[in-house]
Structure 1
Amino acid sequence: MTVRTTVLVVTWRGRAHVGRCLDALAGQSRPLRTVVVDNASADGTAELLAGHPSRPDVLRMPANLGYAGGLAAALPDVHTEFVAWLNDDAAPEPGWLAALENALDADPAAAAVGSALLPPEGGPPALGVRLTALGYGADTSEEAEVFGFCGGAALLRRQALLAVGGVPAGFFCYYEDTDTAWRLRLAGWTVRPEPAARAAHVLGASTRPGSPSFHLWNERNRLLMLLRCAPAAVAGRELARFAAITLLLPVRRLARRPVPAAANFRVGLRLRVLGAVAVRLPRALRDRGRIGRRATVPRNEIWHTFAR
């Protein structure tokens, strides 16, 4: 059978789990090419990859480029019809790739199809990402609410991805998937879930959700995504709201009013977010212009259709 899909697996210090991911890919019912991007791991990951019986192609990075940076670095080496994004802590079931390829074959209007990600503790699978009224991307188990795909396990049409600008490498990690869904929808494509494409997923094996770094990347990239893709009024409102909350937090503490304990309500971290956005603002606005020129669907139409 013809290989139609290149699966990109990005790993960083993934020795403890990337082997299970590669075992699962070796057991797929459809042929595929596997490319592992090793983000300068120093924990024995390189040796594990070299000795794995599936013999994946390996791109060894000189530094940790993050998930988004790793995907972007590997994309020029992909020449198949489809490209899959897969976390190194995900283990797809044997029919995963077949279900994803069949879904794109059945829906020519779809540029990306997301998987059913099965949490280790049980419960309903995440089928994709919904768009909240504040411009956050949030996991959803409801097919009807899917705005975008979860980048932990998804299949995209390579040419569609390239036509909308590829992967935003500067995001490092988080929101590269929701940003890509925005750009695909602006270009007239749709995104759909495929519940039959199932993959077990250990969320945050490398990045510790809830940590200061997680919140820094999460908040920074949400704002950058909105500046690049969302209606101007929404992007401006959310940037102003983030700054206003940052300024009001010390006042609340002085008044002994309650402040959430989460790291994204620490003033120092929020100032770092604002500084990072300010540094990247000229690039984000240039990207916004390019994205707008490619768009065939108005930003406001997408926002009012999906933001809840």
Structure 2
Amino acid sequence: MNPGPKSTVVVVTWRGRAHVGRCLDALRNQRPHRLLVVDNASDDGTAGVLAEHPSRPEVLRLPRNLGYAGGVQRALGRVETEYVAWLNDDARPDADWLDTLEAALDASPEAAAAASLLYGADGTVSRGVRLTATGHGADTAEPQRVFGFCGGAVLLRTAVLREVGGVPASFFCYYEDTDTSWRLRLAGHEVLPTTAGCAHTPGTSSAPGSARFHLWNERNRLVMLLRCAPARIALREVLRFGAVTAALPLRRLRGAVVPEAANFRVPLRLRVLGQLFARFPRTLRQRRRVAARSVVDRRQVWNRWSEAGRHRTRPPGAERP
């Protein structure tokens, strides 16, 4: 008797007409799986591409754009398989991608997630996410130091993902993967690096470097820390962000060089702080729920996996105007 596929691959797309077809082409070469595409209210002809594709994917079309995090969380309610994969619509997994990820989780019952080896056309490689001394999630090519996974291509145990609270849909985009990795670690689970290759072009839908990118990135990092990190670390990073914001106008008045990046623009940073404080009561409730599901102390996770915990020194490149 055929037990059916072990994995559901969730592809979230928004205005992906130009590239989602290549992602679906690559998925046709994978081992048997259920394919669920979440269309985030695309208005560029994406629906036609999905309807005409030979793989005939199951499509969950949302009435409005919920972002990557919201799309994956909405799909999670429809997943009935043992494993669930998150896959960006601009990713193109190698032919043995899903087979390698499933084998890794099958062989490691203590692991709740198997990270992909993402590679770009420019030669960049990411095996997962490291945790910096300031609580940022950053790509790493070192398989020995993978704190978390990149949400662009990953396989997770469905039941465990639900047990730790699912996907933080309110993040919309960015840091939903690092936040989920935090919660898995706190619940006592491992995140495995693997050799499951996947070509990836990051930022196709969100324009890295844009004001929108920096708004989500900065806000979600701080919300993640308030939800998951030791209290002193979360408070330190919120206060640091506020102090840098207050200091920027003075630095400019004195003629000091200030980076041109959007995350050093005071209006954007004030929006981040405004959204952070508007969410504060809800975030504290979420922090208590994370604590209730945890079996590992937050400080232990921080000390083991953050660069601050490893070296006890401030790393180069930390935010400073």
Q: Same fold (TM over 0.5)?
A: yes
Deviation at 1:268, TM superposition (A): 0.4
Q: Provide the C-alpha distance between the structure 1 equivalents of 2:177 and 2:163, rounded to a whole number of angstroms.
A: 15
Give the 5 Å matches for 1:160-175: 160-175=160-175
Aligned counterpart, 2:59: 58
May I ask how many residue pairs the two structures share in their alignment? 305
Deviation at 1:4, TM superposition (A): 0.4
Q: Provide the C-alpha distance between the structure 1 equivalents of 2:95 and 2:143, rounded to a whole number of angstroms.
A: 22
* Residues 228-282 of structure 1, C-alpha deviations (whole Å, 9 max, x = no match): 0000000000000000000000000011111111100000000000001011111
Deviation at 1:165, TM superposition (A): 0.2
Aligned counterpart, 2:317: none
Structure 1, unpaired ranges of 5+: none
3-state SS of the aligned residue for 2:279? helix
Deviation at 1:121, TM superposition (A): 1.4
Aligned counterpart, 1:295: 294
Deviation at 1:67, TM superposition (A): 0.1
Deviation at 1:144, TM superposition (A): 1.1
Aligned counterpart, 2:199: 200
Q: Provide the C-alpha distance between the structure 2 equivalents of 1:58 and 1:136, rounded to a whole number of angstroms.
A: 33
Q: Provide the C-alpha distance between the structure 1 equivalents of 2:46 and 2:111, rounded to a whole number of angstroms.
A: 35
Deviation at 1:26, TM superposition (A): 0.8
Aligned counterpart, 1:15: 17
Deviation at 1:192, TM superposition (A): 1.1
Deviation at 1:38, TM superposition (A): 0.3
Deviation at 1:188, TM superposition (A): 0.4
Aligned counterpart, 2:141: 141
What TM-score results when the alignment is normalised by the length of structure 1?
A: 0.98
3-state SS of the aligned residue for 1:248? helix
Structure 2, unpaired ranges of 5+: 308-321
Deviation at 1:99, TM superposition (A): 0.1
Deviation at 1:64, TM superposition (A): 0.7
The question of 1:189 aligning with 2:209 is answered: no
The question of 1:35 aligning with 2:16 is answered: no
Aligned counterpart, 2:70: 69
Deviation at 1:136, TM superposition (A): 0.1
3-state SS of the aligned residue for 2:126? coil
* Residues 141-165 of structure 1, C-alpha deviations (whole Å, 9 max, x = no match): 0001110000000000000000000
Q: Provide the C-alpha distance between the structure 2 equivalents of 1:31 and 1:42, rounded to a whole number of angstroms.
A: 30
The question of 1:260 aligning with 2:259 is answered: yes
What TM-score results when the alignment is normalised by the length of structure 2?
A: 0.94
Aligned counterpart, 2:283: 284
RMSD over equivalenced CA pairs, Å: 0.6
Q: Which amino acid aligns with 2:112?
A: A
Q: Provide the C-alpha distance between the structure 2 equivalents of 1:243 and 1:22, rounded to a whole number of angstroms.
A: 43
